[in-house]
Chain A
Amino acid sequence: MTQGAVEILLVEDTPDDADLTIRTLRKHRLANALHHVQDGEEALRFLLGPEAPSPRPRLVILDLKLPKVDGFEVLRALRADPRTKTIPVVVMTSSREDRDLAKCYELGTNSYVVKPIEFGEFAEAVARLGLYWMLTNSVPR
C-alpha cells in the first residue's frame, strides 16, 4: 500500500472486527486506500512518526480497547498535535458506557459508534460512516 495514498486508517486489534469492517468498506469501494494497524502505539507511529504519510489519512477509525496505548491516549495525542488535530476520528467500540462516550467527546472525537452485534446493522453503520466521512464531509486541507 502506498503511504501517500492512505485515506483511511483503521486502528483495531480484533482481527474479526477488522476483517468485517474492511469487508464492508470494500463492498462500498472505500477500502482501496485503507491502512490497518493493530494497536495504539503503531497508530501513533504511523500518524506522527518520522515516516508519517503526507497528506495524512482523511479518516481514522479508532477502537478504544487496544493493547499498549489505548484509544483514549491515541485520540488525546492526535488532538494535541497540530498536524493531526483536524483529521476526523470516528470511535468504533463495543462499549455502551456513558463515561466512555463522554470522555471521547471531551477528547475531541468527531463521532462515536457502538458496534452493533447484529451483522446487518454493523455493516450498515460502517458503510454509512465510511460514505459520510469520505464522500460527504469536508475538512480544512
Chain B
Amino acid sequence: MKRRVLVVDDSLTVRSDLDEALTGAGFDVTLAGTLAEARHRLATGKSDLVVLDVLLPDGDGVDLLRELRSLPGTPVPVMLLSTEAEVKDRIRGLRTGADDYAGKPYDRDWLISRARALTRSPGREAPAPVVLVIDDSPTVREGLRAALSEAGYEVATAETGEAGLRLAADARPAAIIVDSGLPGIDGATVIRRLRQDTALRRLPVMLLTASESRDFEVSALDAGADAYVRKEDGMPVVLAKLVALMRASGAPSGVEETASLGSPKRVLAVDDSETYLQVLAGQLRNEGYDVALARSGAEALQLLEVQPVDCVLLDLLMPGLSGTEACRAIKMNPAWRDIPLIMLTALDEREAMIEGINAGADDYITKSADFEVLRARLRAQIRRKQFEEENRHIREELGRREKEATEERAARVLAETKASLMAELERKNQELESFSYSVSHDLRAPLRAIDGFCAALQEDCAASLDETGRGYLARVRNAAGRMGRLIDDLLSFSRIGRHGMTRVAVDMDGLFRGAIAEAREQNPSRALEFEVATLPRIPGDASLLTQVVQNLVSNAVKYSEGRNPANIRVSAEEFQTETVYSVRDNGVGFDPQYAHKLFGVFQRLHRADEFQGTGVGLALVRRIVERHGGRVWAEGTPGAGATFHFALPSGDPLS
C-alpha cells in the first residue's frame, strides 16, 4: 500500500520538486499551498506524513502542528521544512511536537530517506529481499532490474556511487551489485566505503565490470568485493552468482540493527559569523547533511535539548558563551558527551585550540582549511561515533542475551525444582493416604476383638469371675474404647489435609446452635447455660468448620464440669479483614504459661483422670482454621475459665 504524504508549502517550486521526488520514491503525494488548503486536505483524507512549511501566507505552520497534536488517536508524523532564519524556529517546532525538522535548502535524498523512516510502521515492510544496483548506464540498470524482478527480488537502483551508498543505508538491501566504472567515486571506492560502515560492511557486494583484465579483478577483491562478474558473461551468470552470494551470507544476526554511516546525518554548526555559517551550511547541505545553525553557544545548547545531532561544529571564539565553555557544557552532559565535537579555529588561535581540546573537543580544524579536509574529518568523527555506538549496542545486546539466558536457566531450574517438589509432595500424600487407610482398617480390627471377647467373657463367664476379675475386664474394655476414639480422632485429623475445601458463606450461628443442642443431649444431667450473640456468616468449608465449633463447644462443656451452672458465652467481632469468634467458659481454665501447648497434637494440660480426652481436638481446630487462612489463640486463668478465639478472613465467599 502506498503511503500518503501531504506537502504544505507556499512555494510552487518546492511543491513540484517534492511531488516529483516523493512520487518517484513511491509515495502518494497531495499538495497544499496554504494552511486553509492543508486543513481541508487533512479533514478529507488520511495522511501518513505531513511535510510542513513554517511560514505560510495565511499563518504559521507550527499552529497547524499544534492543532494536529491536540487531536486524539495516533498522531500523524510531521516533518517541518523551513528556511532557517532563526534556530528558535527549529526549537519551537520540535518542542511543539514535530517528528523532524529539515532546513531549506533541503537535500532530496535526505528528505525522502526521512520520509521513509517516519512512515515505516513496524512489521509492515515486505520481506522480499532488495537488491541494490549501482550503475551509470540506464541500459544495464534496467536490464538488471528486469532480470532480478523476474527472479523475485525487489530492485533499487542508483546512478552514482554516492547516491548508491545513501540508498544502501536507507533501503538496507540484501545484496549490492555495483559497476566498477562510475562517475565520481568508482565501484572499488563504493565497496571500500561499505566495508567501513559497521551497519553495511557485511552486505554481500558483487562488482560488475566490462574489463577483461585480471589485475582489475584482484584490485576489486582487494577492495572488499565478495564476487566479481564480467558484463559479457550475461544475466544468468550474474543471477547465479548473486544467489550463491546471498546464500553464503546467511541470515542477519539481529545484532546489526543500527543506524548506518550513510543514513541521513544532522550537523549542528555554531558560529557567530553569519557569513561563515551560511557558506558552511551550503557546503554541508551539498554533501547531503541536514544542517542546524546556531549563532551562539547558548542557542546551540537550546537546540541540543530538543534535537539530537550527529556532530557539532563549534567556533572557538564567540561572544557570550565561548566555544570552550559551550564545549565543556556539552561534554559534561551525559546525553550529549558522545556527540563528536569539532572545534573551528582561526590560524592564530593555537593556545585557545589546545584549551578547546582540553575542554573535551574531539578534533579541531582551522577555518581557512579546504572544505575537503573538513568533510573528511567530519566523516571520520561520525564514523568513530558510529563504531562506538555499534560496539556499545553489541555489548548491550550480548549482555541482554546473557541475562536472558541466565534468567531462562534460573526459571528452568525453578520450574524443575517445583515440579520435583510437587511430585514428592504428591508421593508423600499418597503414602500418607495409604497409611491412614490401613490405620483406619487394620488398627480397628484387633481393638474390636479385644472389646468383643471381653464382652463375651462378661456375658458368658461372669459367674466364674470375682469382683477383681470383673473390674479388670471393665478396665480393658475402657482402654479399648479410648484407643478407638484416639484412632478416630487421628484419622479425622489427617483427613483435614486431604479434604477438598468447598467455600460457601457458612452459617456460624446455625453451627453453634447445632453443637450446643448436641452438647445438651450428651450431658442431660448438667446445668448448662449458653449465651450466643449474633454471629455473622463467614466464607469457609461448612463441614470442616462444624468440627471446629463442635470441638470448642464440647471442650467448654467438658472443662466446666462441676460448675453449677456452667456458663458458656459465644460471641463474634467483625474487623476489616477478619471476623473473630470467641467461646468463653467459666470452667477450670488453664495456666497461661502453657497456652502454646494447647493446640499441639496429644498435648494435654490436665491429667487423664480429671478430664477425658485424646489431645487431638484443639490440634484439629487449629489445623482447620489455618487451612482457612485464619488463626487460633486462647486466654485462661487457672480456676477462672478459658476463652478460645478463632479468626477467619472475611471477604467474598464466592472468590
Contact = CB atoms under 8 A, between A and B. Distances in A.
A117 B455 contact: no
A94 B451 contact: no
Nearest to B443: A94
30 contacts: A16-B445, A16-B448, A16-B452, A16-B453, A17-B449, A20-B448, A20-B453, A23-B456, A65-B441, A94-B440, A94-B441, A94-B442, A94-B445, A95-B437, A95-B440, A96-B440, A97-B437, A97-B440, A115-B448, A116-B448, A117-B448, A117-B480, A118-B481, A119-B448, A119-B452, A119-B454, A119-B455, A119-B477, A122-B451, A123-B455
Contacts, number: 61
Interface pairs A-B: 6 shortest CB-CB: A16-B449, A117-B484, A119-B455, A20-B452, A119-B452, A94-B444
Interface in A69-122: 93-97, 115-120, 122
A14 interface: yes
Contacts of A118: 451, 480-481, 484
Contact of B451 (A93, A97, A117): A117
Interface string B483-499: 01001000100000000
Contacts of A116: 448
Nearest to B460: A23
A120 B446 CA distance: 15
Contacts of B448: 16-17, 20, 94, 115-117, 119, 122
B68 interface: no
A93 B46 CA distance: 82
Given A23-B456, A117-B481, A118-B481, A95 B451 contact: no
B370 to A, nearest CB: 97
Nearest to A20: B452
B451 A119 contact: yes
A119 B456 CA distance: 9
A47 B335 CA distance: 95
B447 interface: yes
Contact of B452 (A94, A96, A122): A122
Interface string A10-46: 0000101100100100000000000000000000000
Interface of B: 437, 440-442, 444-449, 451-456, 477, 480-481, 484, 487, 491
A93 B440 CA distance: 10
A72 B484 CA distance: 26
Contacts of B481: 117-118
A115 B444 contact: yes
A116 to B, nearest CB: 8
A23 to B, nearest CB: 6
A17 B480 CA distance: 15
Nearest to A98: B495
A42 B491 CA distance: 32
Nearest to A93: B441
Contacts of A117: 444, 447-448, 451, 480-481, 484, 487
A119 B444 CA distance: 12
A122 B480 CA distance: 14
A14 B456 contact: no
A118 B482 CA distance: 10
Contacts of B440: 94-97
A14 B445 contact: yes
Given A94-B441, A118-B480, 10 more contacts: A16-B448, A16-B452, A17-B448, A17-B449, A20-B449, A94-B440, A96-B440, A117-B487, A118-B481, A122-B452
A71 to B, nearest CB: 12
A62 B556 CA distance: 42
A123 B455 CA distance: 10
Interface string A42-64: 00000000000000000000000
A40 B441 CA distance: 18
A127 to B, nearest CB: 13
B187 to A, nearest CB: 85
Nearest to A117: B484
A115 B447 CA distance: 11
B295 to A, nearest CB: 91
A123 B458 CA distance: 14
B287 to A, nearest CB: 86
Contacts of A65: 441
Contacts of A20: 448-449, 452-453, 456
A100 to B, nearest CB: 9
A96 B440 CA distance: 7
B462 to A, nearest CB: 15
A120 B452 CA distance: 8
A14 B455 CA distance: 18
